[in-house]
Amino acid sequence: MAHQSGIRVSEALAAQFRDALSAPVRVLQARIVDEAVEPGATQPQQGALLDDLDAVPALLDDTSPCYLLVQLDTGKWLFATYVPDAAPVRAKMLYASTKATVTKSLGESYFVDDMFGTMRDEFSARGYQQHRQHVESGAPLTDREQEAAHIRDLESRAAEAPTMDSRRSHVKGAVYPLHADAEAALREFARGTINFALLAIDTASETVTIAHAGSLQSHDELAQSIPGDAPRYALYWFDSATTVFIYSCPASTSVRERMIYSTFRHGFTVTARELNINMDIRLEFDDPREITAAALEAEISERTAAPPPPAAQP
């Protein structure tokens, strides 16, 4: 089975879910721990679905994402993903790219509905009723629901992307193609004609576009060249032999943008390598002001340092 993020469903969670299929369980919580999706808290059925859902927000906190497997009164299941705005970028990326693995491992036929939310109250009885009303009425989606729908689309793209497990030799993962101007700029970068390229994702055209391309005169100009209010990919020649890839995602970035840039980051780096851009160093920042000359030199020195010689045998 292909695992899009490399995360697997643990035997403990699989066994707990199998048991819950024939037990009075209302909610199974699941969290990503290290390289596996592990079981968390559980909530028994104490009444009807709506009565029980009001206890669900108490299972959640303001910074830790999780999955919620909710057994409906019909015996089928709702798959809910809770990703608070304050969660780390990497955690948001993992939960988005692992959802398909979880549903496939546990059995997609059991799940007849799914929700996404960033606030605890969205998983209460009222939140669930609002979700169902919109689904059943076909009413226009709110901004938050549009964001959730877009994230589900990204999850689907990541799930459908080929992986090493599918024995395909040239894996890209989820990919937005390069706009012609972006491809031209990256070819210049690869040749060394310019030493800096800043790229953005245009969600309307679903392409990676060039935001700025040129040559910086010093490492200190790098922080000034990357915006502090929007995520970006950046490529920079630190010296004639070292290329740096920077993923910048400010704390103010919306959940939707975080998911987009996180989901398509790997595909972009593969595309860049196909244009003969070797990313020797990869860095991630949430504040471009941290990208100082001293910080770059320290990171590159640490990552390129030769390993210590093995200890002498007695």
Q: State mean pLDDT over 231-253.
A: 91
DSSP-derived secondary structure letter, 229: S
* CA-based end-to-end distance of the chain: 47
Instruction: Return the closest-CA partner of residue 41 out of 22, 21, 19, 67.
Output: 67
Q: Which two tokens stand for residue 106?
A: 């546990």
**Per-residue model confidence (pLDDT) at position 171:** 38
Percent of the chain beyond pLDDT 70?
82
Percent of the chain beyond pLDDT 90?
52
Instruction: Return the closest-CA partner of residue 66 out of 31, 104, 109, 25.
Output: 31
Quickly list H helices, 23-161: 49-53, 89-106, 125-137, 143-160
286-308 b/e with 16+ CB inside 10 Å = b? bebeebeeebbeebbeeeeeeee
**Per-residue model confidence (pLDDT) at position 64:** 93
Which strands, in side-by-side order, build the sheet including 8-9? 8-9, 36-44, 25-33, 66-71, 77-82, 111-117
DSSP-derived secondary structure letter, 178: B
Confidence of residue 161 (pLDDT cuts 50, 70, 90): very low
Dihedral sign for Cα atoms in the order 235, 237, 241, 244: negative
Mean pLDDT of the chain: 84
pLDDT at 186 over 90: yes
Q: State mean pLDDT over 243-263.
A: 86
Confidence of residue 152 (pLDDT cuts 50, 70, 90): low
**Per-residue model confidence (pLDDT) at position 170:** 37
Instruction: Return the closest-CA partner of residue 115 out of 99, 91, 139.
Output: 99
Instruction: Return the closest-CA partner of residue 248 out of 91, 89, 118.
Output: 89
Q: For residue range 24-67, what is the model confidence (pLDDT) as tens digits?
A: 999 999 999 988 999 999 999 999 999 999 999 999 999 999 99
Q: Which two tokens stand for residue 208?
A: 């990676």
Dihedral sign for Cα atoms in the order 245, 65, 84, 174: positive
pTM, rounded to two decimals: 0.51
How far is Cα 31 from Cα 104, in angstroms, rounded to an integer?
Answer: 16
Q: State mean pLDDT over 122-138.
A: 87
Q: For residue range 191-233, what is the model confidence (pLDDT) as tens digits?
A: 999 999 999 999 888 899 999 999 999 998 999 999 998 999 9
Q: State mean pLDDT over 176-186.
A: 93
How far from chain centre, in Å, is Cα 212? 25
Q: Report the DSSP pairing between strands 77-82 and 111-117.
A: parallel
pLDDT at 175 over 80: no
Q: Any idea which residue has 């721990």 for tokens?
A: 33
Confidence of residue 139 (pLDDT cuts 50, 70, 90): low
Q: For residue range 278-312, what is the model confidence (pLDDT) as tens digits?
A: 888 888 888 888 888 888 888 888 766 655 555 55
